[in-house]
Each structure stands twice: as C-alpha cells, then as structure tokens.
Amino acid sequence: MYKHLLIRNIRLIEVIEMVKVFIDPGHGGTDPGSVGNGLREKDLTLSIATRIKDILLIEYNNVSVKMSRTQDTFPSLNDRTNAANAWGADFFLSIHINAGGGTGYEDYIYTSTNQITKTYQDHIHSEVMKLINIQDRGQKTGDLHVLRETDMPALLTENGFIDNVNDAAKLKTSSFIESLARGHVNGLVKCFNLTKKSTAVYHTVVSGDTVYSLSNSYGSTVQQIKDWNGLDSQYTITVNQKLRVK
C-alpha cells in the first residue's frame, strides 16, 4: 500500500508598497508669489513641480504622486498640508522661487526635525546642485507652515532668485527647468531607493541642451547617447530632435 502525499504549491506574494510623494507648487491663483524680470513665481513652481511628477511617473517603479495644485489655483496652506496628511504621503516637497536681491539655490527643513528628514535634505540638495550652474546658498531650517504642519518628512526648495537678472535668465530656459526637476528627482531616487522602469527613455532637445548635460541629467554616458542616436564625432544635436538618453 502506497501513501500518496498531497503537496500544495504555496505562492508567496510580495506586497510592494508604493512610495507616496506629495508635490506642492508654491502660490497660485490670486497669489502670484514673487514677480520679476517678466516672470511669476506661481508659473515657475507649477512648471518645475509638474516636470518632477512626470519624470517620477514615467521613468520609475512603485511611486505615486499627488500635487497640491495642477492648475493656476490657490489652495490655502492648510489645504496643502491637510491633503498630504490625509493621503498618508511619505514625503512632502514644496517648490518655490526666491526673491530679495540674492542669487542661488537653497532648501529648508523644519527647525526641529529628525535625522531622516535631514538625510533626505542632504540627498536632494546634493543632487540638485550637481545639475545646475548656480550659487549654493546652503541647507537651512525654518519655521514654515508646510514644514511644521506636515506629518511626514518635508522639504521646501528655493530655486533661484526671480529678481536677479542672471537667475531669471536661467529660469526662462527649458533646459534649466529640466535640470532643476531632474535634480529633485535624482534626490528622491536616493531617498527612497526608487528603481528605473526597464524601458528606453527619450528626450526632445531644447535650446541649451548638450550631450554632456543630458548624460548628467539622465545618468547615462556621453558615449552611450552618441551610440544610441548615431551622432557624429562632434556630438551634434539640434532643437526638437528626439534622442534616446537612457
């Protein structure tokens, strides 16, 4: 007599948690924020924040993004932090443009915060500064509503001075906005160990792009971009040309 053993295959299902990033484009609607050199802060913050969102969702796995506004509206400060808290965000990122006669990039965390938030600030500050040719004004702390009233690690970034002619000239270029967005994303990738989707990434060339700057932005080598796109020995690219960059 034989004993028949019934062996059941047990499938182990790994539950993958999504990283929740809440992005807050500063000001909006009736509040233009700082104004100078033909620019309005509310427009720039929305452009940078939207690009950060798009890069995260298109290029990375297991990340979910919500924004405090996606159009020219004005959520109150309470609206912004309440929305992030209710969603259970893992990180709150507030995008701003500076004013007051200075120049450069700086970022803020709350005056009394934990080491995780400080580490996240370190990562994002470092990655932004790698991609932008602008003065480093340092990593700072401040008692700001969006940093104080959020239940998760929070960072507010000041991306150049709208009333500085040189900073404003950069902020008027698509390539600088792209570099700012990429820097923020690269920092978030380090913070949360995000992984790239296994698909090729393409970039439409804008004024000011070079193969070298694109290689820095997308984490590829100059030689890879040259080979993928059959570029000549001078690495010639033209505006509106679609390049594989990853």
Two tokens at 142?
A: 């401040």
Span of 2-16, 156-170, 174-188 with lowest mean pLDDT = 2-16
Confidence of residue 200 (pLDDT cuts 50, 70, 90): confident
Predicted pLDDT of residue 199: 74
State the pTM of this model.
0.78
Region 155-180 average pLDDT: 97
Looking at per-residue confidence, does 199 or 81 come out higher?
A: 81
Predicted pLDDT of residue 228: 81
HEC string of 120-156 equals HHHHHHHHHHHHCCCCEEEEEEECCHHHHCCCCCEEE
Which residue numbers are catalytic?
Answer: 158
Residue 166 pLDDT > 80: yes
d(CA 55, CA 58): 5
Evaluate whether 237 touches 243 at the Cβ level (below 8 Å).
Answer: yes
Mean pLDDT, rounded, of the chain: 92
Residue 128 pLDDT > 50: yes
Residue 11 pLDDT > 90: no
The alpha carbons of the chain give a radius of gyration, in whole angstroms, of 21
d(CA 137, CA 115): 21
Confidence of residue 232 (pLDDT cuts 50, 70, 90): confident
Evaluate whether 27 touches 154 at the Cβ level (below 8 Å).
Answer: no
Q: Hey, which residues does 53 pair with through a beta bridge? A: none
Compute the Cα dihedral for 87, 31, 137, 56 and give only its sign. Answer: positive
54: helix, strand or coil: helix
Confidence of residue 5 (pLDDT cuts 50, 70, 90): very low
Evaluate whether 191 touches 126 at the Cβ level (below 8 Å).
Answer: no
